[in-house]
Chain A
């Protein structure tokens, strides 16, 4: 069973389109995150949700809107896609810190053409 699953794994789309990436975790964790990894492999937090409530929004454009229908799901919707949005997006979840801390999904590679 996959602990943190993201869909789709690959997404190729044209500029200006709207797209969504879905994430689900079956670990019973309270907190979920979206991280963005750029072409130079830098990883940066975008959003953090705890029990469906937004707790971190790290200067992400308004075109990015996370939605958490329940604590096991955190979806990412992106409006009016731009070339600079091309990256790998990782979903993660955590319950506290340490070895029970962070589990990452396998990533969604978004390419905007």
Chain B
């Protein structure tokens, strides 16, 4: 996704926190999402944030949104080996664009025991 960018890799130790970052360019995005993709599987919606929010917490997941800098992050607390996967951020372009999602290139999270 040329309009949504993420770093390619992140490696952490089990029990540490992981922070995955994403930048986007379309300020009219209404919703921003985080999806998880395990090997050979489809995309699983982890969490989302509405554009008028700064932060959302859902159990081990914390999403931070900085609209001014168009920066989105996903923090995973107490990272486990089962969290190893590719994480995609995505922005929704709204109803006039058919509600389609524009994805970042994905961040591959590796959790070492």
Contacts and interface: CB of A to CB of B under 8 A. Distances in A.
B105 A40 contact: yes
A8 B30 CA distance: 34
B86 A97 contact: no
Measured as residues with beta carbon below 8 angstroms from the partner, the interface class of chain B is 20 to 34
A43 B102 CA distance: 8
Contacts of B86: 41
A97 B105 contact: no
B43 interface: yes
B33 A50 contact: no
B101 A45 contact: yes
B24 interface: no
Interface residues of A, number: 27
B42 A106 contact: yes
Overall SS of chain B's interface = strand
A107 interface: yes
A96 to B, nearest CB: 7
A104 interface: yes
A99 B48 contact: yes
Interface in B4-53: 30-31, 33, 35, 37, 41-45, 48, 50
Interface in A25-71: 31, 33, 35, 40-45, 48, 50, 55-56
A92 B48 CA distance: 17
Contacts of B97: 56
Interface of A: 31, 33, 35, 40-45, 48, 50, 55-56, 90, 92, 94, 96-99, 101-107
